[in-house]
Structure 1
Amino acid sequence: MTDSRVAIVTGGGTGIGAATARQLSAAGQATRLVPAGRPGEPEAVAEAAA
């Protein structure tokens, strides 16, 4: 994708949210992950962003 939009994925650190974020990123979409408040998720989001 080459537009200026950003996909915001809530719960992007685990499960379906993480899979969705990976697919969007692989397709070239600018993606931002937002933790949903589950234990350990902020760390997973930080790791995915690195």
Structure 2
Amino acid sequence: MQANSLSGRHALVTGAARGIGAEIARTLAAEGAVLTLLGRDREALQRVADALPAAASHRVV
């Protein structure tokens, strides 16, 4: 993918607290997508969100 190729797009990532979902969230954030992160463990979701690039726009649900 090209840098920021998803700028202006929104992605809903389920299972974002760990594993594949967390890696998808990191990849989408790096590409410029706005994220909504969903999962069962709010603390783990917040850790993933805190580790996203500073410019990443996201919401933990």
- Shorter-chain TM-score: what band? 0.7 to 0.9
Unaligned runs of 5+ in 1: none
- Distance (Å, rounded) in 2 between the aligned partners of 1:2 and 1:49: 18
Greater relative contact order structure (CA < 8 Å, 6+ sep): 1
Shift of 1:49: 2.2
The aligned counterpart of 2:47 is 47
Aligned residues, how many?
45
2:7 — aligned with what? Answer: 2
Q: Report percent identity of matched pairs.
A: 40
Match of 2:15 in 1: 11
What's the C-alpha RMSD, in Å, of the aligned pairs?
1.2
Shift of 1:13: 0.8
Q: Following superposition, which runs of at least 4 residues in structure 1 exceed 6 angstroms of deviation?
A: none
Structure 2: runs of 5+ lacking an equivalent = 1-5, 51-61
